[in-house]
Amino acid sequence: MRIGVRASMLSLVAAGAVGLWAALMVPKAAAPEQPRVPVQVAIAAPAPSAGEIRTTGTLLFKREITLSFKVSGIVKGFNVDAGDAAKAGDVLARLDPTDVGARSRDTQATLDNAEANLKRTEDLFKKGFASQAKVDEAKMQVERARAARDSSAFDSAKAELRAPGDGIVLARLVETNEVIAPGAPILLFGDASGGLVLMTPVSDTQITRIRGGDSATVRFAGVPAPIKATVARLAAKADQRTGAFDVELRLTEVAPGLRSGLVGEARIVPSVKDRFSTYLAIPVIALLEGRGDQAAVFIVDKAGNAQRRSVRVGGFLDDLVLIAEGLARGDRVVTSGAPYLRNGQPVTIVSDQPQS
């Protein structure tokens, strides 16, 4: 009996050993590979426009001249109205000539009488009936009458307003038949020979970065293409009301449709750079879980895996965010598909999103 039991136990042990050996020899099934998530990426790089100074200003003629009459009188009429173009020397407005014409005739008559009196005095002096003092006094009266005649002739000529150059009438400040005083503003004239400028205010920190000759671009509503400009003048003193400094940008071209008074958006490229010029830029949509200046992004490493990275935000520029710390130039930052990623997840780059 004992021999039979032992034989049975040995048989069971042998069968178990064979089964265990067979199980060990069967290969294990491979772990399923993680699915690759399709993503879009943008390359971290400095934004060329990060150091620009952006401001808004008003378009003006470099020379805007207020025209007026030298003498008083009644406005007889205008040959132009606001918005009309004029050539140099064109008559723009006239005074009623009655008053200035009468003064001109009066001074001419006075001169004629003084000259006749001088002739008579000189004849009497030759005959010994007049002294040298009388002759000198008569000559003085002639000179005074001649000066009055010349002044009156000048006033008569200034009874017409003429265009000082090629340009545009910007505004008409009086109407026909109005009585005006000497020097009263009549017309505002824009001299086109001086070109157009954009007057724009900047802050005290911005004015220290700008130099004469710096390049700029200006955009106007209704004008499709930006217009190139240069910094022509910097204010030496701040405006007492606003504390801002005026910068004059001279436009290098005059596009059709531009008018004095238009509001334009300027972008100045200053000579002196600031810290924003060194920051890397990525699209705003790449940011995750932002709080204050801290945020997170996913980058794609060389192995094609998504890696979560903490970054410090330095500012915003249009649809870009400037990164002060946390990224290296050339990093591939996930812009589309980031909410579906886990740290270390394999990804497939569907397409690169160019930086704005």
Q: Decide if 181 is inside a domain.
A: no
Domain count, the chain: 3
Q: Which residue has the higher pLDDT, 346 or 33?
A: 346
Residues 295 and 233 in one domain: no
pLDDT in tens, 101-132: 677 788 888 888 888 888 888 888 888 888 88
| pTM, full prediction | 0.62
Q: Decide if 158 is inside a domain.
A: yes
CATH number for the domain spanning 290: value is 2.40.420.20
What count of Cα atoms within 13 Å lies in the side-chain half-sphere of residue 336? 10
Q: Which residue has the higher pLDDT, 273 or 31?
A: 273
Report whether pLDDT(34) > 70: no
Q: How confident is the model at residue 32 (pLDDT cuts 50, 70, 90)?
A: low
Q: How confident is the model at residue 324 (pLDDT cuts 50, 70, 90)?
A: confident
Provide, rounded to the nearest whole percent, the portion of the chain with pLDDT above 70: 86
Residues 203 and 57 in one domain: yes
Domain limits at 233?
53-61+195-268
Q: Decide if 217 is inside a domain.
A: yes
Report whether pLDDT(66) > 60: yes
pLDDT in tens, 135-158: 888 889 888 888 887 777 766 677
Q: Which residue has the higher pLDDT, 269 or 156?
A: 269
Residues 255 and 312 in one domain: no
- Considering 219, 236, 268, which residue would you say is the last residue of a domain? 268
- d(Cα 148, Cα 277) in Å, to the nearest integer? 68
Q: Decide if 78 is inside a domain.
A: no
Q: Which long-range contacts (CB under 8 A, 24 or more apart) does 135-144 make?
A: 138/114, 141/114, 141/117, 142/111, 142/114, 142/115, 142/118, 144/114
CATH number for the domain spanning 256: value is 2.40.30.170
Section 16-40 average pLDDT? 58
